Chains A and B, each alone.
Chain A
C-alpha cells in the first residue's frame, strides 16, 4: 500500500488556483520528486501535506489514515518531517539543541517528573541524546555539535535542517529544494545523503528540486506540475522528454 496518497488536492488564494486537482501516490521506500517552473504550486503542495494550509478540496492519506483534518502540530508525531526552502532553524540555539527539539514529538515524560529530573526522565533524556548522536554521525555533523546556528555557513545549515528532521524518526521526509544555494560539491554530498536515507535508513523521500542532475540521480519517480496542475509522471528522463513539460518551461514555439 502507498505510504502517502494525495487525492485531487486543490487550494485557491483569492482567485488564483495555486493547486488544482493534483493526485499522486508515494510508495514506501521510494524517492519521489516534484518538479516544475517557479510558482507551479510545489511548495504549496508541501505546505498542504504538512497541514499549514487548509485545502479547498481533496484528501491527504498518510499510512492509511486521513490526515486532512489534523492540526499542523500533529504531523511530526505521525511520522512526517520536513525541511524548508529558506531554512527555518532555531537560530539562537546550538546544533545539538536543534536536533534535541526535533525529538520533542517523541518525548512522553510528564512535567513534574521533568522538573525534578527523576530517574525515568534521566533515562529517556539519555535515549534521546543517543538517537541524536546517531543522526550526527550519519550526517557527519560532529564538528558543529555545539556551534550556534547563527554562525554556521549556509551549506551546513541545510544539513542541520535535515538532521533535525531525521531526529524525529520520520517515515516520510519532505525536502523542499535541498540543493538550492549549495555549491557543486555540497550538492554532490546532498545526493549521497539522500541515497543513504533511502537505502540505509529505509526512508521515503518526497522532494521538490530544480537541479535536474540531482533529480535524475536520486529520484525513482518524478511528477512535473505547472500552474497547479499535474503535467507528466515517470522517470526523470521520461518527464524531461515530455513535450508538455518542455512547453511549460520554455513556452510554445510561437511565443518562445
Chain B
C-alpha cells in the first residue's frame, strides 16, 4: 500500500517534470539550444495563476485563471523570441545558453519584486480533498495534475501529427533551409514554438502551485531536474521527455523513502545511469553515422 501511495504522488510530480521537460525539448528542437530559463518561466506561470485565481488577488474561477495564465505566458514566449532571441539568430549556440541563463536571473528578480519572496500557495477548489480507492488515498490535486497532463499531451500529439502548423514545426526542426523552400516561414514558426512552450510552462506552473508552494527561486532547482528528465528521454524526443519526467518524478519519493542518503541526487544518478547505458537517451534521435 505504501508503495502504491508513493507511486501516485510520484506520478503526479512526474507529470509536472514531464511538462517542463516538454518545454525544454520544444525549444531545443526549434533552436538547437537549451532554454535555461524554462524553470523560471514555469515559476512565472505559477505566479500568474496565483494572481488570477487567489482570493486576495483577482479571485477568478480555476479554469479561467489557468487559461489566462497560459495565454499570457504564451504571449510572453512569443515576444521573447520575436524581440530578444531573434537578435542573436545565427550566433553560436552558447550565445543563446548565456542569454537564457541571464533571462532566468531577470525573471527571478522581477518576480521577487512583484510577488515577494514568501512561499505562496494556489487556492484551488479541490485543496485538501482526497478520493479513497480502497485503502489508497488519492489527493484530488494529484488526479487533476495527471488528467490535465494526459489531456494536454494528447492535444499536442494530434497537433504535431495532423495540423499543417505542427508538421511545419517538425520540418523546420529537422532542416531549416529545406523548410524555407517548402514554403514554411521558419522564423515565425520559431516564435510560435516559443509561445507553445510558454503555454506548456504556464500550465505546469499552475499545477505546481496547486500542489505545493511557489516562490521566485523555485523554478531554478525544479528546472534543472526537468532538464535531467529531458536528457534521460533523449533531448529532442517529445514522448521521451514525458517518460523522463515520469521516471524522475517516481524515483524521487522512492529514493527519499528507502535510500534517504541519495534522495536529493536520485534524479541525477538516474540520468547518469541512462547516459552510460544509452548515451543518446531512452528515445535517442541521433543515429550512428555510417562510414
Interface size on A, residues (CB 8 A): 32
Contact call A104/B183, Cβ cutoff below 8 A: yes
B152 to chain A: closest CB distance in Å? 14
CB distance from B163 to the nearest CB of A (A): 4
B174 within 8 A of A: yes
Q: Which of A29-37, A85-93, A185-193, A206-214 has 4 or more CB atoms under 8 Å from chain B?
A: A85-93
Which of B158, B163, B182 makes the CB contact (< 8 A) with A105? B182
**Consensus secondary structure, chain B interface:** helix
Report B-chain residues with C-beta under 8 Å of the C-beta of A164.
182
- Interface: B88 (CB within 8 A): no
Total B residues in contact with A, Cβ cutoff 8 Å:
24
**A81 sits at the interface (CB 8 A):** yes
Let me know if B180 is at the binding interface, CB within 8 A: yes
Surface stretch bound by A, among B164-172, B246-254, B273-281: B164-172
Residues of A within 8 A of B180 (CB): 52, 72-73
CB pair B183 A90 closer than 8 Å: no
8 Å CB contact of B174 from A72, A92, A115: A92
Contacting residue for B181 out of A72, A91, A150, CB 8 A: A72
User: B182: which of A91, A104, A121 is its contact (CB, 8 Å)?
Assistant: A104
How would residues 178 to 192 of chain B score, 1 for a CB under 8 Å from any chain A CB and 0 otherwise? 101111111000000
Residue ID in chain A nearest B162 by CB atoms: A114
Within 8 A of B (CB), among A98-140: 101-102, 104-105, 107, 109, 111, 114-115, 117, 121
Asked whether, in the complex, the Cβ of A88 is within 8 Å of the Cβ of B164, the reply is no
B175 at the interface (CB under 8 A from A): yes
Q: What does the 1/0 interface line of A221-245 toward B look like (CB < 8 Å)?
A: 0000000000000000000000000
- Taking a contact as CB atoms closer than 8 A, the residue among B162, B170, B186, B287 that contacts A73 in the complex is B186
Q: Does A26 contact B (CB under 8 A)?
A: no
Q: Known pairs A52-B177, A93-B174, A105-B183. 20 more at Cβ < 8 A?
A: A50-B181, A72-B181, A74-B183, A75-B183, A76-B181, A76-B182, A88-B175, A88-B178, A89-B175, A90-B171, A90-B174, A101-B182, A104-B167, A104-B183, A107-B164, A111-B164, A114-B162, A121-B162, A164-B182, A168-B182
29 A–B contact pairs at CB < 8 A? A52-B180, A73-B185, A73-B186, A74-B183, A75-B181, A76-B181, A76-B183, A84-B178, A88-B181, A90-B171, A90-B174, A90-B175, A91-B174, A92-B174, A93-B170, A101-B182, A104-B164, A104-B167, A104-B171, A104-B183, A104-B184, A105-B182, A111-B165, A114-B164, A115-B159, A115-B162, A121-B162, A168-B182, A168-B183
Closest 9 CB pairs of A and B: A105-B183, A76-B183, A88-B178, A114-B163, A90-B174, A73-B185, A72-B180, A104-B182, A111-B163
Write the residues of chain B forming the contact surface with A, with a CB cutoff of 8 angstroms. 155, 158-159, 162-165, 167-168, 170-171, 174-175, 177-178, 180-186, 285, 287
